[in-house]
Amino acid sequence: MILAGAAAFAFFSSKVLSGEQFVDAYLAEEEPSVVERESLIRQMIRRPDAHKLPPVWLYFFAGLVLKIMCRFKYGMRVVKRCRIPRPALILTNHASNFDYQMIGAACWPMRISFLSTYYWFTFRKLRPWLRYMGVIQKYQFATDITAMKKLKYVIQEKKGVTFIAPEGTVYANGKSGYINPSIVKIVKFLKVPVYAIKIEGAGLGHGKWQKIQQKNTRVELSMSALLSEDEVLNMDRDQMYRRIVDALHFDDFEFQKRTGIQVFGASKAEGLDDLLYLCPSCGKELALEAKGNTIRCTSCGLEATINDSYRFDWPDGQKKWFDNYSEWFDFQYNALYEQMKANPDFEMSDPVVYRIDIVDTDGYVDSGDGVLTLSLKNGWTYRGTLLGHDIEEHDSLEEVPVAVMKMGTHIELPYKGHSRCFRFKDDGRISQKWHIASRVITEKILKDR
């Protein structure tokens, strides 16, 4: 009754009040804000609670096409299989933006209920198809009770299969990222056997940063039984967490060494300057430029070329800084960690455009501009405007553990039941530094305290 009344209020009030009037009311604490109104409308979109499995025949034929495409586009092959009886939960590492295609192809013809970030459900033409295919929407790095209920319904009531990538986002550095221990709570909540699928090689030609997808690549998937139902119910939480982390651990450069895979092409470095922002030689930020197979610093002239093994070749007489882009990424990570350890007052600020995800607008909408600050003492702070009004928003470091990043443009942060996007005005490539800083704080600084 309360939800129905709130939804009705949101619907009718949206017909009467303009966006700016909602902000006026919000600032005066009289009516729901734009964000709160959208949250109510979102709840209507997310219903009903009963969730359908993907349609049999459409999934069968779409999966068959996907299986063929993955074989030829990614060089994908399943090197180790295991039977996955229903109901079940599948856990995978998050190696690329195309993981869902590979998982669907590897498990075909078994139907899987996929999870997707809420962002894709704001697209008017895409949303009906996502619903029809039984996709479950979820907010990234935020508690989402509705998504958990739907997962439980699909698995326990419909005896279905779903998969989760516990890393929560593609870290893009060619190896395992941080897995939040909360995955153990989800596993115990669902109370079904768990299976692991490890993806290796996706970062060698199909990484998140890659502007041009490479050909002649090779991606291998390994399937294994991870936790029995009895282990899910009775295993110690720390032991379960360790088993999950170990099962999903991957390093694409160890994979390359083991398999000897070679990737031929003349555009392997395109987009690498979105991943790498810090020159190890002169220490300047945002001076790196990637073109063809080469990345160079426009400030000091440092230069490296990605060879067919996806490792760096350095010119004669120049220091060989790193073997691969994953090591370079780690250098940036460690540099920020040392800065934060040495300076408890560490903070970083940049001018941004504030954007919010409004339903049926097909993406984020520019809603204001201001300055975003990340501080070890005060967490996240945005000071600026929203639809022409001055606002100030704060989040603790615990509330926003990781800034989800769109390569070269922006970061996304959860806030009061929706997502915010902050597009950097000066140079979108700085988004990588913000993403790494949020990881360092969550994975290192908060643990050290």
**SS3 letters across the chain:** CHHHHHHHHHHHHHHHCCHHHHHHHHHCCCCCCHHHHHHHHHHHHCCCCCCCCCCHHHHHHHHHHHHHHHHHHCCEEEEECCCCCCCEEEEECCCCCCHHHHHHHHHCCCCCECEEEHHHHHCCCCHHHHHHCCCEEECCCCCCHHHHHHHHHHHHHCCCEEEECCCCCCCCCCECCCCCCCHHHHHHHHCCCEEEEEEECCCCCCCCCCCCCCCCCCEEEEEEEEECHHHHHHCCHHHHHHHHHHHHCCEHHHHHHHHCCCCCCCCCCCCHHHHCCECCCCCCECCEEEECCEEEECCCCCEEEECCCCCEECCCCCCCCCCCHHHHHHHHHHHHHHHHHHCCCCEEEEEEEEEEECCCCCCEEEEEEEEEEEECCCEEEEEEEECCEEEEEEECCCCCCCCEEECCCEEEEEECCEEEEEEECCCHHHHHHHHHHHHHHHHHHHHHC
Angle between the N-to-C axes of helices 19-27 and 34-45, in degrees from 0 to 180, rounded to the nearest 10: 120
Examine the domain organization and report whether 223 and 119 are in the same domain: yes
Record the pTM.
0.86
Least confidently predicted of 28-37, 194-203, 385-394: 28-37
What are the beta bridge partners of residue 78? 221
Instruction: Label residue 139 by pLDDT band (50, 70, 90).
Output: confident
Q: What is the CATH number of the domain that holds 396?
A: 2.30.29.30
For position 416, what pLDDT does the model report? 61
**Domain presence at residue 265:** no
**Which of 132-136, 182-186, 303-307, 361-365 is least confident?**
361-365
On the question of pLDDT at 430 being above 90, the answer is yes
pLDDT of residue 364: 84
pLDDT score, position 372: 98
In a shared domain, residues 41 and 62: no
Domain check: are 113 and 237 in the same one?
A: yes
Report residue 238 CA to chain centroid gap: 24
Confidence tier at 317 by pLDDT (50, 70, 90): confident
What residues does 380 pair with on adjacent strands? 374, 395
Instruction: Domain count for the chain, please give it.
Output: 4
8-45: per-residue pLDDT in tens?
Answer: 333 333 333 333 444 444 344 444 455 554 554 454 44
Judgement on whether residues 392 and 302 belong to the same structural domain of the protein: no
100 or 363, higher pLDDT = 100
Q: Which residue has the higher pLDDT, 222 or 413?
A: 222
- Look at the block and give the residue holding tokens 């997707």: 116
Does residue 334 share a domain with residue 353?
A: no
Whether 243 is in a domain gets the answer yes
Q: Which of 316, 340, 364 is the last residue of a domain?
A: 340
The answer for residues whose C-beta is within 8 angstroms of residue 59's C-beta and 6 or more apart is: 109, 111, 133
Average of per-residue pLDDT across 154-178: 91
88 has pLDDT over 70: yes
Where among 299, 323, 340 does a domain terminate?
A: 340
Q: Which residue has the tokens 């936790």?
A: 227
68 and 131 in one domain?
yes
pLDDT value at residue 94: 93
Looking at residue 52, its pLDDT comes to: 78
Instruction: Count other C-beta atoms under 10 Å from residue 203's C-beta.
Output: 30
- The residues that bridge with 350 in the sheet, in sequence order, are 372
Q: How confident is the model at residue 136 (pLDDT cuts 50, 70, 90)?
A: confident
- What range defines the domain where residue 61 resides? 56-259
User: Within 10 Å of residue 391's Cβ, how many Cβ atoms?
Assistant: 17
pLDDT of residue 418: 64
Residue 50 lies in a domain: no
- Verify that 7 and 99 share a domain, yes or no: no
Contacts 24+ apart (CB under 8 A), 241-244: 241/179, 241/181, 241/183, 241/184, 244/91, 244/166, 244/179, 244/183, 244/184, 244/187, 244/196
Q: Is the pLDDT of residue 289 over 50?
A: yes
In a domain, 83, yes or no: yes
Q: What is the rounded CA–CA span in Å between residue 182 and residue 69?
A: 34
**Greater model confidence, 120 or 30:** 120
Question: If pLDDT is split at 50, 70 and 90, which confidence band does 50 have?
Answer: low
Average pLDDT, the chain: 86
| In a shared domain, residues 29 and 146 | no
- Tell me if 116 sits within 8 A of 140, measured CB to CB: no
Check whether 434 has a pLDDT greater than 90. Answer: yes
Flag whether pLDDT at 332 surpasses 90: yes
Is the same domain home to 403 and 296?
no
Residues in the chain: 449
Between residues 362 and 78, the one the model is more confident about:
78
